[in-house]
């Protein structure tokens, strides 16, 4: 997507450009998370279900590792 600008209304509202809405499949009524990072506003679609959204995140880290052996090793180091 190319960069575009939006105007802040007198009620401090903005309209999301159509290209951004389509790319992220944002529909009317969806909620966005707002974050400020080093002077930049970041809008991210809010997941309906955080558990489902995070399921499998970074699963490649655990490939080839036996979960039981890992837990046993961690417990033995306590």
Q: Is residue 29 part of a domain?
A: yes
In angstroms, the CA 24 to CA 16 distance is 11
Per-residue pLDDT tens over the stretch 52-67 = 878 888 888 888 889 8
Range name among 8-17, 34-43, 58-67, 68-77 with the lowest pLDDT average: 58-67
Q: Is residue 11 part of a domain?
A: no
Range name among 5-9, 18-22, 55-59, 73-77 with the lowest pLDDT average: 55-59
Q: Is residue 72 part of a domain?
A: yes
Q: How far is the first Cα of the chain from the last one, in angstroms, to the nearest whole number?
A: 50
Q: Is 48 helix (H, G, I), strand (E, B) or coil?
A: coil
Task: Count structural domains, the chain.
Answer: 1
Q: Is residue 2 part of a domain?
A: no
**pLDDT at residue 16 above 70?**
yes
Domain residues for 60? Answer: 18-76
Q: Quickly list DSSP for 1-46.
A: ---------TTS-----HHHHHHHT--TT--EEEEEETTEEEEEEP
Computed over every residue of the chain, the mean pLDDT equals 90
pLDDT grade, residue 43 (50/70/90)?
very high
In angstroms, the CA 5 to CA 16 distance is 9
């Amino acid at each position: 997507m190319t960069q575009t600008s939006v105007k802040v209304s007198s009620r401090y509202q903005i309209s999301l450009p159509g290209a951004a809405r389509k790319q992220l499949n944002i529909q009317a009524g969806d909620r966005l998370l707002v974050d400020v990072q080093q002077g930049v506003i970041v809008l991210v679609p809010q997941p309906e279900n955080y558990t489902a959204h995070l399921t499998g995140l970074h699963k490649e880290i655990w490939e080839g590792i036996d979960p039981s052996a890992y837990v046993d090793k961690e417990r033995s180091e306590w």
